[in-house]
Amino acid sequence: MSDVDPTGAVADWWATDISNIAPGSIELRGHPIAGLLRDRGFTEVAWMLLTGSFPTHGQKRLLEAALVASVDHGPQAPSIASARMAATCGVGLNSAMANGVNVLGDVHGGAGQQCVQLLNEIVVGQDDGDELLEVTRRVVAHWRETSKYLPGFGHRFHPVDPRRDPILQLLEEARTDGDIAGRHLEAGLAVESVLNEGRARRVPINVDGVTAIIYAELGVAPELARGLFVLGRSVGILAHAWEQTQQGGRIKGPIPPSILPTYTGQRT
């Protein structure tokens, strides 16, 4: 039976602009793998695969900051807890990592994507010539019609997210250097300002908000922003899953076996 594909139908089945693989040759978007291994880092190659071009030095610094900010938030984070529990069940690291990644949904892990959408709405609203705070108040009011929580702002644990100020500083530097336009940065700060009007207790922008500003400034689509968050968090998931396998023992539930869940059903 011949393996020739005279019409190209089979070869076109999964046609791609990303990778060109042939015997003895690997090219990623036209770049030979040898050159990438010698001259480029992981963040640069990841960005090139996603967008088709390498980031500038300033853009690379922002991307690395966003990824580093996302790697871990302790065993109490559902993605980490899920991976650690799975790792003690004998499923292997790949399945433990999959468990952690698969709980990164709209509630845990999705705020960055949602915040990019929020910031985009404000920037688009400004295109009509309206003043920034006016647009921001209108967009915030619209979002609050469906939820009392605004994605990317406030934190259940940190009074001020320790990742906020360093990333905002990097964003300001990137704007000064011309690596970003700064419109989404202004939108994020405007939301923070609007949220704190008349409030005694401050509601600051959090890690999801500042990383959303990075991704929005770099033109990342909201859904892809979540994907990049997942990429960063995968590192923490792997580290915790591996640590758990080295510690031994079994974690078959989210609470110690000596503590029983409160029963709220009928009693006879």
Instruction: Convert the chain into a string of H (helix), E (strand) and C (coil).
Output: CCCCCCCCCCCCCCCCCCEEEECCEEEECCEEHHHHHHHCCHHHHHHHHHHCCCCCHHHHHHHHHHHHHHCCCCCCCHHHHHHHHHHCCCCHHHHHHHHHHCCCECCCECHHHHHHHHHHHHHHHHCCCCCHHHHHHHHHHHHHCCCCCCCCECCCCCCCCCCHHHHHHHHHHHHHCCCCCCHHHHHHHHHHHHHCCCCCCCCCECHHHHHHHHHHHCCCCHHHHHHHHHHHHHHHHHHHHHHHHHHCCCCCCCCCCCCCCCCCCCCC
92: number of Cβ within 10 Å: 13
What per-residue confidence (pLDDT) applies to 11? Answer: 82
pTM of the model: 0.91
What per-residue confidence (pLDDT) applies to 199? Answer: 82
Answer whether 112's CB lies under 8 Å from 226's CB: yes
- Confidence class for position 3, pLDDT limits 50, 70, 90: low
Distance CA 24, CA 193 (A): 56
Whether the per-residue pLDDT at 26 is higher than 70: the answer is yes
Extents of the domains making up the chain: 111-224
What per-residue confidence (pLDDT) applies to 137? Answer: 95
CB within 8 Å of 258: residues ≥ 6 apart:
none
Mean pLDDT, range 219-226, rounded to an integer: 97
What per-residue confidence (pLDDT) applies to 259? Answer: 86
pLDDT in tens, 177-213: 999 999 999 999 999 999 988 887 888 999 999 999 9
Whether the per-residue pLDDT at 2 is higher than 60: the answer is no
Whether the per-residue pLDDT at 218 is higher than 90: the answer is yes
Pairing of strands 31-32, 25-28: antiparallel
Q: Which residues partner with 32 through β-bridges?
A: 27
- Confidence class for position 79, pLDDT limits 50, 70, 90: very high
Query: Mean of the per-residue pLDDT values for the chain?
Result: 92
Give me the sign of the Cα torsion angle 195, 200, 201, 207: positive
CB within 8 Å of 177: residues ≥ 6 apart:
58
How far is C-alpha 123 from the geometric centre of its chain's CA atoms? 21
Angle of helix 111-126 versus helix 207-217 axis, rounded to 10: 50
- Nearest CA-CA partner of 212 in 255, 244, 168: 168
Distance CA 216, CA 115 (A): 9
What per-residue confidence (pLDDT) applies to 1? Answer: 47
- Whose tokens are 């500038």? That residue is 56
| CATH for 111-224, options being 1.10.3720.10, 1.10.230.10, 3.30.56.10, 3.40.50.1980 | 1.10.230.10
Distance CA 229, CA 69 (A): 9
CB within 8 Å of 174: residues ≥ 6 apart:
58, 59, 61, 62, 180, 217
